[in-house]
Structure 1
Amino acid sequence: MISKFGFSMHDWRNYTSQKIKRLFEQVKKDKQAMNSDSELITEKGQFHLNITLIPVEVNQELDSIYVICKDMTKQYKAEKEIHRMAHYDSLTDLPNRRHAISHLTKVLNREHTLHYNTVVFFLDLNRFKVINDALGHNVGDQLLQFAAKRLSSVVPDNGFIAHLGGDEFIIILTDANTGTGEADVLARKIIRKFKKHFKIQDHTLVTSVSIGIAISPKDGTDGLELMKKADMAMYAAKERNKSKYRYYSFSIGNKESVKLNQEMVLREAIENDRFVLHYQPQFSVKKQKMTGAEALIRLVTPDGQLRPPGEFIGVAEETGLIIDIGKWIIDEACKQARIWHNKGYDSSNPKI
């Protein structure tokens, strides 16, 4: 075993760490067995050992110390790799969502001094989906890697950055002095960093960032709550003008709550087939007859009221539910066209 570490029986003491020496002294003093993990550094490298020291007594006197040494280097490296895979993003080498939530929770559980806060930045790369779809995942992945490096370069000493997945990143400032505009300074730095284009393979790519900011304790003291509110603020920034930042506010939260309720109503309406088509006749003055009909969708509420498309189409487009609604409209309009055709109204084809 000793030769494996790169030294002989004669010079092993030269490599014995102070920790191991203290263990020997403790066993000699207490005459009790001890077990401990320790590191060993030699010309062959760094080793991780598990050492058990057992005192051997003869006639109630310490005669020797029996040492059992296990080389745990492979296990240590495997555990370290497993930990890294669980807490770090393999693409950007940044902490991942799980690590970010754990870090934020620990930070929020600490006591903070007056006027100092925890600030959460939620960041999204604008136009990333367009670039990724048009040029492929290889270019998209490289863009995320370069973006991660740019973001990391501006994070201050009291900051923590993580890649949440996709084109979303988070930055957490601990003990930030909001009275001095520290959050504004960082947000502006980040936006400036992305004014310069990215050169990836043969492509010159331009992307910007939208940033949402939430502050504890003003906006909450729960980590997931803060992340959600920063996310809401980020979408508000994206709606107003891309490459901007916004702080979370009650009005933003209220708007998002209304939007979420509208989405839930839409999903329920799709599942329960609570839409109806009204047909507006199209009349030709020249031919003096009806030439068709325009299909107009209405949502039927549980109490029987009709809601015009202006109240729900925007949310449907934003959430992707417009695809399901569009399929329903086409199916229903075609059914109605068949009914009219069977009745001899050949010129009454619906327009969608």
Structure 2
Amino acid sequence: MLPPATLKRKSSLPIWVSIGWRVLAVVALLALAIGVHWIERDGLRDNADGHVSFLDIIYFTSISITTTGYGDIVPVSDAARMFDALIVTPIRVFVVLLFLGTAYNFVLKRTWERWRMAMIQRNLTGHIIIAGYGKTGSEAVDELVARGDRPDRFVVIDTDAEALTAAKSCGCIVMQADGTRDEVLNQARIGQAQSMIIAAGRDDTSILITLTARHLAPELPISVIVRNEDNELPARAAGATTVVNPVSFAGLLLASSCNGPHIADYLTDLASFHGQVQLTERAVTGDEVGRPLSAIQTGIGLRLYRGGVGHDRKAPEAAALEAGDMIVEIIS
């Protein structure tokens, strides 16, 4: 059975106001206890001088709430003892929890989070940054994990707490932040990242993240998804290495299915790790230099990229592979 859904909103109160409200709550409870003790002062006994003054009331209430209790002033009447048992004890517990919660939220938690971030950043290199963990971003992570990547290689940046909870449960490193900011991407060690996937859900946000990432990491491979065909050119102009339009790709699959019922299945099979065949990209190895693209032994060579320009397997450039060429091939 699913837990009931709850509405949540970030607090608009500054930190000092939040702390101030907690202090006022403690002072109000202390004043309540002092007032009742003063009214019922005849039920208290001062073993020092036998007289219970107002200062004695403040002193007794303070040591009672803080559980110190020196025994110099004690409740002797039934009313005073019942008040201490039924009212002062819950106040004591509430005040202790309030102070502990404040110390944890504003001191211990932040110190612990800064220390954990420093430890994670120390060993963060060769990782993949995922900006946006919606449907597309999560599927990209699942596919990469299926291909052998460890979940802790992914740094997921999103503003949605529920999405980050899902990413964290998968083993990813998460940051609840705005991926368009330089500070956030620097904290994610974008300069040491292997690649970046941007699927923010909005084309304008994705393009802005791309622009920020390219500014910070000029050589980083960046893949971005856009949903409007008009935004493909701005995404490339912003610095995206690869631009994917799911609407256009879906149209290509639909068009291919008109010429045969199995073409779309095969193309989907190529893109997924769970299929019988897989489309991969790799660099030419030393023993392949000088050989034609059609002679590679690892799979079926489809295309090579030399100097950023693609050449089909029947092109003259494919007759002899060179060091630095990139091969796109189909493997089993």
User: Same fold per TM (> 0.5)?
Assistant: no
Greater percentage in strand: 1
Q: TM-score, normalised by structure 1?
A: 0.29
Higher percent of residues as helix: 2
- Answer 1 or 2: higher relative contact order, Cα 8 Å, separation at least 6: 1
